[in-house]
Amino acid sequence: MKTSEIRSRFVDFFARRDHTVVPSASLLYNDPTLLFVNAGMVPFKPYFLGDEPAPFKRAVSSQKCVRTLDIDEVGKTTRHGTFFQMLGNFAFGDYFKEGAIQYAFDLVTGSEADGGWGFDADKVWVTALFGDQETIDLWQKVGIPREHIQERGLKDNYWHMGIPGPGGPCSEIYIDRGPEFGPDGGPEADEDRFLEIWNLVFQQEELSQVRRKDDFDVLRPLPNQNIDTGSGLERVAYLKQGVANMYEIDEVYPVIAKASELSGRTYGANELDDIRFRVVADHVRSGLMLMTDGVTPGNEARGYVLRRLLRRVVRAMRLLGVADPVLQELLPVSKAAMLPSFPEIEDAWGRVSQSAYAEEESFRRTLQSGTVMFDTAVGEVKKGSSTTLPGDKAFQLHDTYGFPIDLTMEMAEEQGLSVDRAKFDELMKEQKERARADAKAKKGGATSMEAYRQLREKGDVPFLGYTDLDVSTTVRGIISDGVAVDRATDGSTVEIVLAETPFYAEAGGQDADRGTIVGDGFSLDVVDVQRPVPGLVVHRVEVFGELPLGAQADARVDAAARHGACQAHTATHIVHAALRELVGSNATQAGSYNKPGYMRFDFSSPKGLSDQLKAEVEARANEAIIANHAVTAQQMKLEEAKALGAMAMFGEKYPPIVRMVELAGPWSRELCGGTHVANTAEIGVLNLLSESSIGSGVRRVEALVSTDAFAKFAAERALVNQLTETLRVRPDNLVERIEKLVAQLKDAEKSIAKLQSEKLLAGAASLVGQAVDVAGVRFLGVETPGVGGGELRTLALDLRERLGSEPSVVALIGGAEKPTAIVATNEAARGLGLGAGRLISVACAALGGKGGGKDDLAQGGGTDATAAPQAIAAVRAALEGRG
């Protein structure tokens, strides 16, 4: 069962039980206490803490998470990974223990045919807090025998956030993997054999003091009992896929396979190499997902974590013997594996790949020069019979060559040395103090956020762009490479802050404005506008001339581009309203992006739109455009806007006073800070391009508007004209003609396949003569290049019959670019314990792939078509060694 299917089964299960599907928040969720989202409940924290009322009684999500505290353990164990996905169902004052336990048991043990995960109920074990008899009784009620329920203490089975707030007992679900993984006795005996896949938290108490995991004070019962669950998707995946660990599931293993191909080393051959393979697979995937969500390599905070991950990949591949650039080989493999679950990777790929490859190139230069110095320092240390690399050497590697201290410590450990970390930290502290005293030195990297904060302290930057596109203003601040400066020179790219601005900063899915800022002796091209901290608008500009701090300037927005953005943004609101009207009120916004001529809208929906429904949505949107509805915006209290039915986006934080954009009265009312046309007729026309899934329970529509939409219609009309001329039919008959041609083509393909099969079968008799005796079994191994699928199976079955009743095994290797393997055994061979399912695994391993099937017939494939002889030889060797 593919990872994406496990996820969709989970989300669909709870969606059918009235849970609101909440899309995954970005890994960069706006929580000042977190570097990254590290748990599935993070987006729901305000509701659990009581800071905000929950907008729903029930919710379900599959949340992207990153944890990096155990980064050094990645690869060394099969439990630690940096990026993972947490499945969760949540209830706020709704169902409690009984509902959560029943739902979990039904999904975990429900048959695959009915949408469940299909685990054997006899292999399910659970834990409960000591003395939580209610939970024990409820598990017994659903069918878990008492001997499969174990009680544990507060450290294991009580949940809280480590701070005053909600808490409660929890109950964990484990799956028995079998005696080959460890001793019997449940989770208390062995947590490798008994693998935890799900934790159900029963929030029922408010804690006033928290001293340790198992030492806290309970203030009172919570006014509402809540459910917070978390199931590790990767853990469920490797159980359902029958592999040994999370590194071997379908979303991770392809990177290991590629790394093995590049290095010429075999995964599984020795533990040290396996650790490096697993580090590579984990870090490539984590880096891909972090960059997709907007992180770029850097020297601080999130950027530093990403840089460390990418550099550990390069370092691990070097230790596997690969000195050439590797990310350009590995990152696309991870992209292909993750794309079915996260289609947004495609949109970000250009930025992601460019950033990753540049980081590797930079690090390669660092390694080349810095490793020479490191080796020299190690030689000096060993010559002096010491076991510690001096802290000043580690600092020099960091300061001169950009070696992260973690990398130096890893390399030193490989040489049997430690690092004087205390001296290193002392030198780093001195450097930071010098940097603060003289920002121009900028050693160790500047803290760009500090520059933003200092400018923000001077006051808000008013946005005047709702009414004015040309504003006379003053340059309040200039930031270059994260440091505030007093001027910018010709040819540089800097960030500037104005006293007030007409430029719209990217937000709410709307692209930033473009334009120019001109003054005496300078002209600035505005290439991006952002709000790095609330209240501060920062313009990224290319400088022509000399720009001094405090200069008077005229800020001019590109009016045509702004109008295009307004058209697209208003069209987004129209599509949202049309979807809610035609699909249902649950089709709520899950994200959007709009720019001149183009809009993209994501919405919650358990299923896709039919062609007819897509046509209806497009028609309804164009009806609203033609109706020339006035588009108005007004400021009001948040409560008033919600009372009027204004749509708000989940996860967004809204101030007490909000801006509500309205068209056609209650048909479309949304909280929105973006810019819009004055009336819908200004949009012109909307062309709905596509509708697709971007994740379980979330759909995406894309459309063109205005002249871009018209151009698309014109291109489609030209295509129709060309087809009608080529096929010599009227436009009304075009579909019928094409369907007839397709049917004819399919008939021809079937005829060709039939002829090919007949030809193969006609030559089967001559192939039987190639059978040889191997340890008392007639074995026929044949390469059939270009033959695959059904023809190969038919040939294998025919050859098996021709070999007669004595023990016989047939192994065929066919296929074209990618090899296909078939193994068939007769009844006599199976009586000797020779199952096709086991033999196909042997063959496919040689081909660089996997296979499976029944004892009589099994099929698989691989990646290396040149390894067909080795695959046949491997099956023969398995027959020779069966005794």
Alpha helices in 187-340 (DSSP H): 233-240, 253-263, 271-292, 301-319, 327-338
Tokens of 514: 């473009």
* Nearest by Cα to 626 from 571, 703, 566, 702: 571
Give binding residues for Zn(2+) as ranges: 569, 573, 672, 676
> What type of residue is 54?
A
What residues does 595 pair with on adjacent strands?
Answer: 598
* Nearest by Cα to 338 from 293, 285, 374: 285
Distance CA 875, CA 150 (A): 45
The percent helix, strand, coil of the chain (3-state, each to 5) is 45, 25, 30
Tokens of 762: 């006609």
Name the helix (H) or strand (E) containing 740.
Answer: helix 734-762
Distance CA 516, CA 169 (A): 59
Pairing of β 20-21 and β 58-66: parallel
Exposed/middle/buried for 688, CB within 10 Å: 0-12, 13-18, 19+?
A: buried
Alpha helices in 583-637 (DSSP H): 611-626
Cα 229 off chain centre by: 20
Cα 138 off chain centre by: 36
Pairing of β 215-232 and β 388-389: unpaired
Exposed/middle/buried for 702, CB within 10 Å: 0-12, 13-18, 19+?
A: middle
Tell me the chain's radius of gyration from C-alpha atoms.
32
Tokens of 417: 């040395």
Tokens of 490: 């010709």
Contact 88, 41 (CB under 8 A): yes
What value, to the nearest 5°, has the Cα angle with vertex 624 and ends 629 and 505? 70
Distance CA 300, CA 530 (A): 20
Contact 326, 316 (CB under 8 A): no
Contact 47, 92 (CB under 8 A): yes
Distance CA 199, CA 667 (A): 42
Give binding residues as ranges: 569, 573, 672, 676
